[in-house]
């Protein structure tokens, strides 16, 4: 029995997480394992219900869970709030901090059925399938920062330790071993001392993974190559700010934000969520694309040890796209509803699961 905490959040969050849970239940039944789902409050719904964006009860539930599935947070009426207890996004930042989630994982994949939606030429994006491992708790975002007394000079300190680098590089190497044994380190080792430490550490670790071909690109070149030839990449590992920039840049390749899953790993648990926001304008209309959340659920199944179940969910998503069972962000001509997409994917999982004894 694995315990899954579902944080539906705001806007379209409840709708898209409902479909992901539906699909996970179908996968669990098909592959003969048990999932126990619990629910907690986060974001605006938590503010309205309990006065703050991340109640202590939610943290306690998260600490007992094997994995966390998150919808999205945010509502227009709380945009611009200065009080941290009235800002929904503080719930997301708070759960990341409470669970010490140090590694963000962002898959980037194009699908033949919708590659025409990419802003890049189809021949450029064809075959793209890579994943970015971004360090999430260190670097310039978390270093000492400030201004001089005159206010005319500002500074942001960037620091990394070998232990911080090793723990995320280990995850990236393991993913490279599962894929095609290629790993790219994106850094700025020609200028930055922290990047030189990253390069030294990741290179030294290559001795532990001799089958993996380790390559390097400076961050400016890597950003350019993602646009010129994204299919060359398999696994990219990088520091916090560089990973933030690369993952946002890469997010447009697929053609729809509704296709982008993500995961954040910690020492004890992991959180899985779509890369898009809460889109409150579409809440309750059964039009939101649940695929990013369903693919996040597939990553969750992989994380808790059910690789076959994760793979069939991914296959079901591909089948839905090829069959045109898609929402209006992808299919403007004959779209279906959020629940229809979830129903199709769950049914595909049920009918096509291949259980090995």
Positions annotated as catalytic residues are 141, 188, 220, 244, 248
The number of residues in the chain equals 357
Determine how β-strand 67-72 pairs with β-strand 2-9.
parallel
Sheet of 129-135: strands edge to edge? 35-40, 2-9, 67-72, 270-274, 261-266, 101-109, 129-135, 235-238, 182-187, 213-218
CA dist., res. 275 & res. 261, Å (int):
6
Determine how β-strand 101-109 pairs with β-strand 67-72.
unpaired
């Amino acid at each position: 029995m694995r315990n899954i905490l579902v944080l539906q959040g705001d806007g379209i969050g409840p709708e898209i997480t409902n479909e992901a849970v539906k699909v996970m239940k179908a996968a669990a039944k098909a592959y003969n394992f048990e999932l126990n789902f619990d629910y907690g409050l986060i974001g605006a719904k938590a503010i309205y219900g309990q006065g703050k964006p991340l109640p202590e009860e939610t943290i306690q539930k998260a600490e007992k869970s094997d994995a966390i599935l998150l919808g999205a947070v945010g509502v227009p009426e709380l945009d611009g709030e200065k009080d941290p207890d009235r800002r929904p996004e503080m719930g997301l930042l708070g759960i990341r901090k409470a669970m010490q989630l140090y590694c963000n994982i962002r898959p980037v994949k194009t699908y033949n059925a919708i590659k025409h939606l990419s802003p890049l030429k189809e021949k450029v994006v064809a075959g793209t399938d890579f994943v970015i491992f971004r360090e999430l708790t260190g670097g310039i975002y978390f270093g000492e920062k400030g201004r001089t007394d005159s206010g005319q000079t500002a500074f942001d300190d960037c620091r990394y330790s070998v232990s911080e680098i090793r723990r995320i590089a280990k995850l990236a190497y393991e993913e490279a071993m599962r894929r095609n044994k290629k790993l790219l380190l994106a850094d700025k080792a020609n200028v930055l001392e922290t990047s030189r430490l990253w390069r030294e550490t990741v290179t030294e670790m290559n001795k532990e993974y001799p089958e993996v071909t380790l390559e390097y690109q400076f961050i400016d070149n890597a950003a350019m190559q993602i646009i010129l030839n994204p299919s060359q990449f398999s696994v990219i590992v990088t520091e916090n700010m560089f990973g933030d920039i690369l993952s946002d840049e890469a997010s447009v390749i697929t053609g729809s934000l509704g296709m982008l899953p993500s995961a954040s790993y910690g020492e004890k648990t992991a959180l899985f969520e779509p890369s898009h926001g809460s889109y409150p304008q579409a809440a309750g209309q059964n039009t939101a694309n649940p695929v990013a959340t369903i693919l996040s659920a597939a990553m969750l199944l992989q994380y808790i040890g059910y690789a076959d179940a994760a793979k069939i969910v991914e296959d079901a998503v591909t089948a839905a796209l090829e069959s045109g069972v898609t929402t209006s962000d992808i299919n403007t001509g004959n779209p279906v509803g959020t629940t229809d997409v979830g129903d199709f994917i769950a049914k595909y999982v049920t009918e096509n699961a291949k259980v090995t004894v």
